[in-house]
Structure 1
Amino acid sequence: MNFSVVVPVFNSENTIELMVKKILCFFSEHEMSCEIILVDDCSHDQSWQIIEKVSKMHKEIKGIRLNSNSGQQMAIYQGLHYCEGDYAITIDDDGQHDIEDLIQFMPLISQNYDLIFGIYKSYNDPSYRKRGSGYIGRFFKWRFKNLKGMRVSSFRVVEKSLYQCILNKKKKFVYISAELLPYAQKVGNVAVTRHMRLEGKSGYTLGKLLKLGLNLYFFYGVPHIFNEMNQGKAYDETVVNGWCGELSNQRHPQNEGNGL
C-alpha cells in the first residue's frame, strides 16, 4: 500500500520543510511508501523556491506551481491529477493536521472504506467560522445522503479508484468533498488531533465563507440544473507553469513554464 500526500501551499515558506520532514519520518517509521505533492497556489513569498529545494533533496517530493491564485480546493484538485498512490491524503499546509493521525484511518482503510474524513472534537474557531462551518455541514447532510450524519473536512483519505473518478472535469468551481461523495461507496469519520497553526492565521474570512456557502448551494445544490453553468477549466494543464521532482509520465506537463 502506498500513499500520495497532496498539500496545497500558499505563503508557507517558513513551514514547508518542517511539514515535509514530519511526513517523511512518519512513513519511514511505519515502513510505508509515499509521495508528497506540494501545490504552490501562486504564493507571494519564497514557497516555490523551498519546494524546488526539498524536491532535489527527496525523491518522494513533487512540486506543482499554479500560474494564478485559485484557492485551496482548486489547488488540491490540480494536485490529485499527479497522484499515483493507492490512497490520496489531503492535508493543509498550516500544521494543524497531524500526519501521525493516519494511524487512526487504518482500521477503516482495512475495511475498504473509500472516503474517510478526519474530524476534530473541538474547532475553537471565531464565532463566524463556527457558524460558517455549521452551514456548510448542514448543506452536506442535506445534499449527500450517503454521509449518514457524518461530517466532512479537508483532512481526507481517498481510495485511488474514487479520486480518479473526479479527474479531468471542466468546471469553474470545485469543492473536493462535493465532487467525491456522489461516487463514494463507504464513507467514514475518525477523530483527529488539531494542533495550533505553525504561523499566520486562517485565510477564511467571513466574506470568503459566505461566498463558499453560496457557491456550494449554487453549483452542487441542484446539480442537474446548474451543471451546464459550471463548465470551465477546473483542470487544464495550462494553469501549471512550473513543476519539479519526478512527475508521472502520464501527467507530465511538457509545454508549460520552466521545469526542472
Structure 2
Amino acid sequence: MDKVISYIIPCYRSENTLGNVISEIEESMNKISGYDYEIVCINDGSPDNTWQTIKELSTVHKKLIGINFAKNFGQHAALMAGLRRSKGDIVICLDDDGQTPANEAYKLIDAIETGADAVYARYEHKKHSIFRNFGSAMNEWMAHVMIGKPKELYVSSYFAARRFVVDEMCRYKGSYPYVIGLVLRTTRNIVNVDVNHRAREIGSSGYTFSKLIKLWMNGFTAFSIVPLRVATLSGSIFACVGFLYGIFTIIKKLVLGDQLDILPLGFSALMSVMVFMGGMLMLMVGLAGEYIGRSYISLNDDPQYVVRDVIGEETKVEKDN
C-alpha cells in the first residue's frame, strides 16, 4: 500500500498564486512513485477571493480539501487545523505564494525516509523583503534563546514531519500555538535540506509588523519561562546595585559630611535612576501580566481557530479546537 503525503497550505491573499502551487504539487507527485497524496488548503480569513479560488480548484483537483476559517486566526492556527485534518504518513507544510518550491518536496521526503523525524528547508539566498528577513532572523534568535532550538538548525515555513510528530503536535490545545515549539518539544531528530527560494511574483507578504510581534510573543510566553527568569535576575541585580549604592551613600556622608550637599547634580542622577528603574519594573510587571492573561484566556477555552466551511472528500473535521 502506498504511503500518503499530506500537503498543508495556509492561505491568505493567495487567489492569484494558489492555483500554480497546487498544479506544481500534482506535477511533482506524478513523478514520484510509491506515494499517494492529499492537499489541505486553509483559508485564514482572507479578505480577497481566496476561499472562492479554493472551492473552484477543488472541482478540478479531486485530492484537494479546503477549510475556511470564520476569521483570521494566524498562520500557525491555520497550520494546526491542517495538521489535524491530515492523514498522511508524512506531512509537508509550505507557503501559498509559490516561494517555497513544491517541486523540491522530494528532498524533504528523502530526508524523512532516511531517518529524520522532521526536516526544514534551508535557503542559501532568501528572496524575501528586508523587513521579512529581519523578522525571520529575530524568530531564529528567539527560538534558539527561548525554547532551545539548536543554533545550527535553520527553521522555515517549508518543513516536513513524520506522522507521530504531527499526532503529538495535535495534542496541544492551548490558545496560542507556536509550531516550531511543538516540533522541538516532540523530537530533536531534526535536519535541514537545501532548497531554492523563489522571488515573489505576485502581491506582497501577508506578514505585518504586528503579526510578527504576535508570533514572537507566542514563542516567548507559550513555550518558555526564560523571560520570567530574566526579569527575576534583572530585579535581583538592580536590588543589589541599589543596596550597594545605599552603603556608598552612608559612607560618603560619614567621611565627607555635608561638603557635597550644595551640589544640585544629584537630582538629575536620582531622576534618571528612578525613571530607569520605574520603566524596568513596569516592563517586568507587564511581562508577568502577559503570562497571566494568556493563562486566563486558555482556561476560558479560547479556540485556536473556528471553522466555517469544509469542502472536499471526507469533510469531517474538528470545528473548534
Q: Fold-level match, TM-score > 0.5?
A: yes
By percentage of residues, which structure has more helix?
A: 2
Asked if 1 retains the 8 angstrom alpha-carbon contact of 2:13 and 2:206, the reply is no
2:7 matched to which residue of 1?
A: 5
Amino acid in the other structure paired with 2:134 = R
Structure-2 separation of matches of 1:252 and 1:216 = 25
Q: Please, which runs of 5 or more residues in structure 2 have no aligned partner?
A: 229-290
Letter of the 1:136 partner, please give it.
N
CA distance in 1: counterparts of 2:99 and 2:106, whole angstroms: 16
Cα distance change on mapping 1:179 and 1:206 into 2, 3 Å: same
* TM-score normalised over the length of structure 2: 0.71
- Residues 188-203 of structure 1: matches in 2 within 5 Å? 188-203=191-206
Contact 1:19/1:93, CA 8 A, preserved across alignment: yes
**Once the 2 structures are TM-superposed, how far is the Cα of residue 135 of structure 1 from its aligned partner?**
2.0
CA contact (8 A) 1:62 1:243 kept: yes
**Alignment partner of 1:25 out of 17, 24, 27:** 27
User: In the alignment, is residue 140 of structure 1 matched against residue 143 of structure 2?
Assistant: yes
User: Shift of the alpha carbon at 1:27?
Assistant: 0.4
Q: How far did residue 199 of structure 1 move? A: 0.9
- Spell out, residue by residue over 1:180-224, the C-alpha distance to the aligned partner (whole angstroms, 9 max, x if none): 21001410011111112231111223343233223321222228x
Query: Whole-Å Cα distance in 1 between the matches of residues 64 and 80 of structure 2?
Result: 17
Aligned residue for 2:46, secondary structure, equals coil
Structure 1: tracts of 5 or more residues without a match: none
| Equivalent residues, number | 251
Write the mapping of 1:88-167 to structure 2, written as runs, cut at 5 A.
88-145=91-148, 147=150, 149-167=152-170
- TM value normalised by structure 1: 0.87
Alpha-carbon distance between aligned partners in 1 of 2:106 and 2:308, rounded to the nearest angstrom: 35
Task: Check whether the contact 1:174–1:234 (CA below 8 A) recurs between aligned residues.
Answer: no
Contact kept? 2:128, 2:199, Cα under 8 Å? no
Contact 1:82/1:247 (8 A) holds in 2: no
Distance 1:139 1:252, change over 3 A: closer
Deviations 1:121-159 (A, max 9, x none): 122444443332222111222244463521111101011
SS of corresponding position for 2:85:
coil
Question: In 2, are the aligned partners of 1:118 and 1:192 still within 8 Å (CA)?
Answer: yes
Which segment drifts farther, 86-95 or 102-111?
102-111
Q: Following the alignment from structure 1 to structure 2, what is the Cα–Cα distance between the partners of residues 141 and 230?
A: 27
Post-superposition Cα deviations, 1:16-52, rounded to whole Å, max 9, x if no partner, equal 2221111111101213311000101122222212211
Kindly indicate whether the alpha-carbon contact (under 8 Å) linking 2:44 and 2:68 is maintained by their aligned counterparts in 1.
yes
SS of residue in 2 equivalent to 1:14? coil
Give the deviation of 1:69 after TM superposition: 0.7
**1:183 alignment counterpart:** 186
Alignment counterpart, residue 60 of structure 1, candidates 50, 58, 63:
63
Amino acid corresponding to residue 22 of structure 1 in structure 2: E
